[in-house]
Amino acid sequence: MPDMMTAKTGSANQSMPQKGTGKLEGQAPVDREGKLKKTCADFESILVYYMFKAMRQSIPKSGYLKESPGKDTYNMMLDQKVAEELANKGKGAGLQNALFEQLKNSL
């Protein structure tokens, strides 16, 4: 009696990963290094965003300029975009390269 995998696909090995290739049969190989580089850049972006956020919070309020509605949201969006651009341009701040070098051997 055929098992469920054979009944659905016609072959038990058709959609199973091939050992050592990191890909499913008929699909492109998984770009593990590319995904790791993207993850390291995203991590650096988040870290830089929180650094900007902490820097903004450390600035004392002077009272010369009144608080306007939406200013906090604008500053948050600005900090996120600047952090993303910094992480995605060239080598970023350098953290993503250090992370990548440490983690690429575990792939």
SS3 per residue for the chain = CCCHHHHHHCCCCCCCECCCCCCECCCCCCCHHHHHHHHHHHHHHHHHHHHHHHHHHHCCCCCCCCCCCCHHHHHHHHHHHHHHHHHHCCCCCCHHHHHHHHHHHHC
Residue whose C-alpha is closest to residue 85's, from 44, 27, 50, 56: 44
Q: How many structural domains is the chain composed of?
A: 1
In a domain, 15, yes or no: no
* pLDDT tens, position by position, 26-74: 555 678 899 999 999 999 999 999 999 999 999 888 878 777 889 889 9
For residues 1-9, average pLDDT: 47
Give the global pTM.
0.65
User: Which structural domain, as residue segments, surrounds residue 47?
Assistant: 42-57+69-107
In a domain, 11, yes or no: no
In a domain, 5, yes or no: no
Residue with tokens 């300029």: 65
